[in-house]
Structure 1
Amino acid sequence: MIEVNHLTKRYRGGTAVDDLTFTVEPGRVTGFLGPNGAGKSTTIRMVLGLDRPTAGSALIGGRQYAEFKRPLTAVGALLEASDLHPGRSARDHLLWLAASNGLGRKRVQEVLEETGLSEAAGKRVRAFSLGMRQRLGIAAALLGDPGVLILDEPVNGLDPEGVIWVRNLAKRLAGEGRTVLVSSHLMAEMALTASHLVVIGRGRLLADLPTEEFVSAHSGANLEEAFMRLTSESVQYRAGGAR
C-alpha cells in the first residue's frame, strides 16, 4: 500500500502540493489524475524520495522509500523515459540496475522479453524511439518483480498495440495483488485501465473513489467530461513550481 499523509511541498513563491492525503491499495489499478500543474509529478517524486516534503509523509508498505536496501525489489517506477544514458545498450542499462540491487542476468532477459525488447537489447539507447524508451523504462520498473508499481504517463509515445499492452500489463499486475498507480492525462485510456481514481487539482485532493462512482457523481457521460467538470471548478493556482 502507498500511504500519502498530509503531504505538502512548498517552493519559494507557491505551494505545489497542499496537505494531500490518500492511499493506493493493492489489487487494483489506481489512476492518478489532474490537470497540468496539479502537483502529480511532485507527489510521485516525494513518494519515491526524490523530493523532500515540506510537511507530511509518503510511505510504501509503512516505510519511506529510502529505507529499502534493495528498492527495485519493493517498488518499480517509470518517470522520465528520456532520462537514460544514451551510450548504453538496453541490456547494459538493465544489467547495471540489476547489479545495483543484487539481481541476476536471467531476470534481465526475462523483462527484455516481457517488454518486447529482446531483438533491440544490444542497441544503444540513443537510437531508440520514444516508444522504445518507454518500454525500456517499464522493463526497469519490472526488473525487481516489485509489489508496488508507479507509472507516470506510461503510454506516452507508444503505438496503439503498445497502449493496449500497457493497459493489460497494469491490470494483470493488479490482478496478482500488486499495488499499481498510473498517472496519466489520457482520460479515455484511464477509463479502460483504472478501477479507482485519485484526482488532484492545485495540489489538493479533489476526488478519491471508484471510477464508475466518479463519473456518476459528476454527471459525466464519460470520464473526460466528469474530469473536466470537476477540475474546471478549481481555484486558479498561485505561481510556483507545481508539476
Structure 2
Amino acid sequence: MIEVNELTKRYRHGVAVDGLSFTVRPGVVTGFLGPNGAGKTTTVRVLLGLAAPSAGEALVGGRAYASLHHPLREVGALLDANAVHPGRSAVDHLRWLARTNGIGPARTSSLLERVGLAGVARGRVGGFSLGMRQRLGIAAALLGDPGVLILDEPVNGLDPQGVRWIRELMRSLAAEGRTVLVSSHLMSEVELTADRLIVIGRGRLLADTTVGELVTGAGSASLEEAYLRLTDGAAEHRAGGGW
C-alpha cells in the first residue's frame, strides 16, 4: 500500500506539494492525474526517495523508500524510458539492476520474453525505438517481482497492440493483489484501465474516487470532460512541478 500523509514539499520559488494526503490500495489500478505543474512528479520523487519532504511523509508498505534493503523487490517504477545507457544491451541493463538487489539472472530472461524483447535482448538500447524502451522500462519495473508499481505514461510510444498489452498487464498485476499507480494524460486510456483516481491540482488533493463516481458526479459524458471540469483553474506552472 502507498500512503501519503500531509506531504509538503517546498522549493525556493514556491510550494510544489501542499499538505497532500491519499492512500493507494492493492488490488486495483489507481490513476494519478493532474495538470502540468500539479505536483505529481514531486510526490513520486518523494515516494521513491529521490527528494526529501519538507513536511509529512510518503510511505510504501508503511516504510520510507530509503529504509528498504532491496527496493526493487518492494517497488517497481517506470519514470523515464530513456534513462538507460545507450551503449548497453537490454539484457545487460537488466542484469546490472538485478545484481544490485540480489536477483538471479534467470529472472532477466523471463522478463525480456514477457515484454516482447527476447529477440533483441543483446541489441544496444541506443538503437531501440521509444516503444521498445518503454517495454524495457516495464521489464525493469517488474524485475524484483514487487508488490507496488508506479508507472508514468506507460503507453508512451507504444503501438495499438502494445497499448492493449500494457493495459491488460496493469489490470492483471492489480488482480494479483499488487498496488498499481499509473499517471497518464490520455484520459481515454485511463478510463479503460483505472478503477480509482487520485486527482491533484496546485499540490492539493482534488478528488479520491472511482472513475464512475467522478464521471457521474460531474454529470459528464466521459472521464476527460469530468477531469477538465474538476481541474479548471488548477493548472499552474511552478518550480518543482511536474507530471
TM-score normalised per structure 1: 0.98
Matched, 1:82 2:82: yes
Alpha-carbon distance in structure 2 between the residues aligned to 1:107 and 1:35: 37
Matched with 1:134 is: 134
Does structure 1 retain, via aligned residues, the 8 Å contact 2:16–2:238? Answer: no
Paired residue for 2:160?
Answer: 160
Q: Which runs of 5+ in 1 are unaligned?
A: none
Find the counterpart in structure 1 of residue 180 from structure 2: 180
Map 1:208-219 → 2, pairs under 5 A: 208-219=208-219
Q: Partners in 1 of 2:54 and 2:26 — Cα distance?
A: 27
What SS does structure 1 have at the residue aligned with 2:42?
A: helix
Residue in structure 2 matched with residue 240 of structure 1 by the alignment = 239
Amino acid at match of 1:80: D
- Return the alpha-carbon distance in structure 2 between the equivalents of residues 137 and 17 of structure 1: 27
Give the deviation of 1:240 after TM superposition: 2.5
Question: Does the 8 A contact of 2:130 with 2:158 survive in 1?
Answer: yes
Q: Answer whether contact 1:15 1:238 (CA < 8 A) is retained.
A: no
Matches within 5 A, 1:95-110: 95-110=95-110
Alignment of 1:58-73 (within 5 A): 58-73=58-73
Q: Which amino acid aligns with 1:115?
A: V
Aligned to 1:23: 23
Match of 1:198 in 2: 198
Q: Distance in 1 between matches of 2:239 and 2:78?
A: 25
- The alignment's C-alpha RMSD in Å is 1.0
**Structure 1 contact 75–148 (Cα < 8 Å) conserved:** yes
Instruction: Using the TM superposition, give the Cα deviation of residue 6 of structure 1 relative to its aligned residue in structure 2, in angstroms.
Output: 0.6
Alpha-carbon separation, structure 2, partners of 1:98 and 1:159: 28
- Give the ranges of 4+ consecutive aligned residues of structure 1 lying more than 4 Å apart after TM superposition: none
Kept after mapping to 2: 8 A contact 1:30/1:198 = yes
Alpha-carbon separation, structure 2, partners of 1:96 and 1:154: 22
Q: Is the 8 A contact 2:36 2:236 kept in 1?
A: no
How many correspondences in the alignment? Answer: 242
CA–CA distance in structure 1, aligned partners of residues 6 and 47 of structure 2: 12
Look up the equivalent residue of 1:31 and give its one-letter code. G
Separation in 2, partners of 1:57, 1:108: 33
- Cα contact 1:74–1:144 (8 A) shared by 2: yes
Tell me how far apart the structure 2 counterparts of residues 166 and 201 of structure 1 sit (CA, whole Å).
27
Superposition deviation, residue 202 in structure 1: 1.0
Match of 1:146 in 2: 146
Shift of 1:238: 6.8
